[in-house]
Amino acid sequence: MFSLSESDLHANILGCADGPASFNSEMTRRGNRVTSSDPLYQFSSEQIRARIDQTSQLLVNQAAQNAHLFVWNQIRSPAELLQVRMQAMENFLADYSTGLSAGRYTNQSLPDLNFPDQCFDLALCSHFLFLYSDELPSDFHLAAVAEMCRVAREVRIFPLLDMRAGTSAHLMPVINHLRQAGFTAQIEKVEYEFRRGGNRMLRFKPKISRS
């Protein structure tokens, strides 16, 4: 979903709003560097597992009720979706305590991150910004984007859809704000598409040198 090249995978990566995903654990097994930030990480493994158990069936029900909004190619059914997501969450939980002690999972949330300026090569945000456009206003999106730009030399956000599978109303204001601030900002098509039409990411890079 982020069109990560082999060189990208070897970069120092920050995941924003990562939740109970397995990216950090899988990358760590490869010997790569990922730091994940999410307020979820204030909770214990047992508390997170209980929350996953409470919401897992809801995930299946929502996917089944809105099956027309998804592309059922790699994942072929709501039941298989649950299986894939639960396996990813099990991988996360198996790594969580170790990663928490090592500082790979940090209890932080956008738009305020406690990291030094430009300390990451790449910051990624998946299924948070733009997706929750109804709950998070433009000001929040702009502040979150500015913070990601502060801590990383490149930022990528995916997908660009809101919960109704339409393009987020905050997308163009964010892009215009970035360009006015001197950043390069472009929408790129990616290979991954599960939510129908959700195959684009926003990529932006630091301020253009004016020298």
pLDDT at 198: 95
pTM score, two decimals? 0.93
Alpha helices in the chain (DSSP H): 6-9, 23-30, 45-65, 78-102, 138-151, 171-180
Query: How far, rounded to the nearest angstrom, does the alpha carbon of residue 50 sit from its chain's CA centroid?
Result: 22
Question: What percentage of the chain reaches a pLDDT higher than 90?
Answer: 89
Distance CA 48, CA 95 (A): 13
Architecture per CATH, 6-17+109-207: 3-Layer(aba) Sandwich (3.40)
12-16 sheet: strands from edge to edge: 105-106, 33-37, 12-16, 122-126, 155-158, 200-207, 183-189
Question: What percentage of the chain reaches a pLDDT higher than 70?
Answer: 98
Answer for the pair 49, 158: CB distance below 8 angstroms, yes or no.
no
pLDDT at 209 over 70: no
- Transcribe 44-97 into DSSP letters: -HHHHHHHHHHHHHHHHHHHHHTGGGB--SSS-SHHHHHHHHHHHHHHHHHHHH
Distance CA 208, CA 182 (A): 6
pLDDT at 206 over 80: no
User: Quick one: pLDDT band at residue 15, thresholds 50, 70, 90?
Assistant: very high
Identify the residue with better confidence: 204 or 209.
204
For residue 188, the cross-strand partners are 201
pLDDT at 57: 85
Question: What is the number of residues in the chain?
Answer: 211
pLDDT in tens, 124-174: 999 999 999 999 999 999 999 999 999 999 999 999 999 988 999 999 999
pLDDT in tens, 73-116: 999 999 999 999 999 999 999 999 999 999 999 999 999 999 99
pLDDT at 133: 96
CA neighbor of 87 nearest in space, from 45, 54, 56, 128: 56
pLDDT at 56: 87
Distance CA 144, CA 157 (A): 11
